[in-house]
Amino acid sequence: MKVLHVAAEVFPLVKTGGLADVVAALPPALIARGVNARLLLPGLPAILDAVSSPRTVCTFGPLFGAARVRLVKALLPFTQVPVYVIDAPLLFGREGSPYQGPDGRDWPDNLQRFGLLGWVAAQIAAGGLDPDWAPDLLHAHDWHAALACAYLAQHPATGVASVFTVHNLAYQGLFALPDLPLLGLQASFGRPQALEFHGHLSFMKAGLQYAQRITTVSASYAREIATREFGCGLEGVIQGRGGDVSGILNGVDYTIWNPEIDDALGASYSAHALDGKAHCKAALQREMGLAVDAAAPLFGIVSRLTAQKGLDLVLGALPRLLRLGGQLVLQGNGDAALQAAFVAAAQQHPGRVAVRTAYDEALAHRVIGGADAILMPSRFEPCGLTQLYALRYGSLPVVHAVGGLADTVTDASPAALAAHRATGFSFRDANIHALEGAIERAVALYRQPAAWRDVMRQAMACEFSWDVAAQDYQRLYESLSGSGAP
């Protein structure tokens, strides 16, 4: 089966979050299972500069505001996955974020930029652009690629099925409704039954309405987004799709996230040889200016600073964490108020709290490898990859039991501890008191070294490889084989 994945970013070339990790890992895992998978990406400078063996497939005249558009076929570095890249300098030839300008605001032409991504995806799916390859199925990732499903629906004769994966429903790609003609879609697509959403155009809704199957990145999140609490106003659309919506948990690339072979760490370790973990902790404490204290439980955060991630709860619980003898190290940036508050906390508690606001992939590995526990009090979390990384590194996750966090972390309740099933700490209510309670339980267990090491080993034994996820996606693709567009 031939499958075209469509997305806006891919690790390590362009990354703003977990989407890039998924897009980098899933196609190779599918290829290993015999699926003929390829990628379509926008021609951002970091992508065009990195691909190898590029050759022009075809060119287009004026399109979506660009005078010239070229479709390039190449290979991704590292994985050698075949990739199509849309070379449109006017739309994509910009440094920095793929979505926002230097002022932090969305690029004003994002409608045309990601409209072009979806349109080219549908043209490839229709066949004829590349005489050597055309997909049987199109798999669009998040709102940036969702319009591909609408373009396919406008021309159902292609017979190509589509799958749409919601990585985060909160980011929907909303644009002015009167701009619909810029997309080249029929006027009927501006109706409430189509892309209209409270007076706007919603790219996310294009995927939800027109893909034959909708997946989310965890089973719990698939259930949650059909509720008013988590549905972001789209719960009615999702409820209307019924059994077409399912969850497939993201995986981890253990060739990258593995403390036994991680070059970013100062020492290697494994579930059977944990000594290197203490070395990593001490090295992180020194690097971040914390007191080098093996007895102090070190809590780590690697996260975007947004309200979604519940980091205001961490600020509220920080006094209690410090009174318990803990330390905090945070790597992340985003919301200016949150960032300023954490920087101020580091200044108020030198040697106890450390903050790094510049993202550094290697430092992220060192934080996860050196911390005793990782805090993830997200108000909602479609899947979460950081807790999966933390499990493999024996850095016990402290999580709000929602979405993928609930699906992947087994709370260290008395029963789970007795049964040797515990892998972390979870709490039910998104408030400071509940987070404090989870932190208190984590510190209490940390004071029992043998019991803590037992939970570490259980966490490190968890298996969330991409092969498992790829197998589930392959089954989904095969169930759609030959079914055509809706």
End-to-end CA distance of the chain: 19
CATH number of 275-464: 3.40.50.2000, 3.40.190.10, 3.40.50.880, 3.40.50.2300?
Answer: 3.40.50.2000
- Specify the pTM: 0.91
pLDDT value at residue 157: 64
Domain ranges of the chain: 2-251+467-480, 275-464
pLDDT value at residue 483: 47
* Average pLDDT, rounded, for the chain: 96
pLDDT value at residue 183: 97
Q: Which residues pair with 354 in a beta bridge?
A: 329
- pLDDT tens track for 312-346: 999 999 999 999 999 999 999 999 999 999 999 99
| Domain 2-251+467-480 indexed as CATH 3.60.20.30 | no
pLDDT value at residue 482: 56
Q: Is residue 298 over pLDDT 70?
A: yes
- Can you tell me the distance from the alpha carbon of 446 to that of 406, in angstroms, rounded to the nearest whole number? 22
pLDDT value at residue 284: 98
Q: Is residue 287 over pLDDT 70?
A: yes
- pLDDT tens track for 139-195: 999 999 999 999 999 887 678 999 999 999 999 999 999 999 999 999 999 999 999
Q: Is residue 305 over pLDDT 60?
A: yes
- pLDDT tens track for 71-126: 999 999 989 999 999 999 999 999 889 999 988 899 999 999 999 999 999 999 98
Residue closest to 119 by CA, chosen among 54, 185, 22, 47: 185
- Can you tell me the distance from the alpha carbon of 34 to that of 339, in angstroms, rounded to the nearest whole number? 45
Q: Is residue 485 over pLDDT 50?
A: no
pLDDT value at residue 158: 76
Across residues 198-215, what is the average pLDDT? 98
- pLDDT tens track for 342-382: 999 999 999 999 999 988 999 999 999 999 999 999 999 99
Across residues 212-219, what is the average pLDDT? 97
**Given this chain, do its domains 2-251+467-480 and 275-464 carry the same CATH topology?**
yes
- Can you tell me the distance from the alpha carbon of 149 to that of 361, in angstroms, rounded to the nearest whole number? 33
**8 A C-beta contact, residue 162 and residue 485:** yes
Largest CA distance in the chain: 68
Torsion of CA 27, 33, 35, 37, to 10 degrees: 20
Please spell the DSSP secondary structure of 332-348, one letter per residue. Answer: --B-HHHHHHHHHHHHH
pLDDT value at residue 128: 81
Quick one: DSSP state of residue 188? G
pLDDT value at residue 486: 40
pLDDT value at residue 156: 74
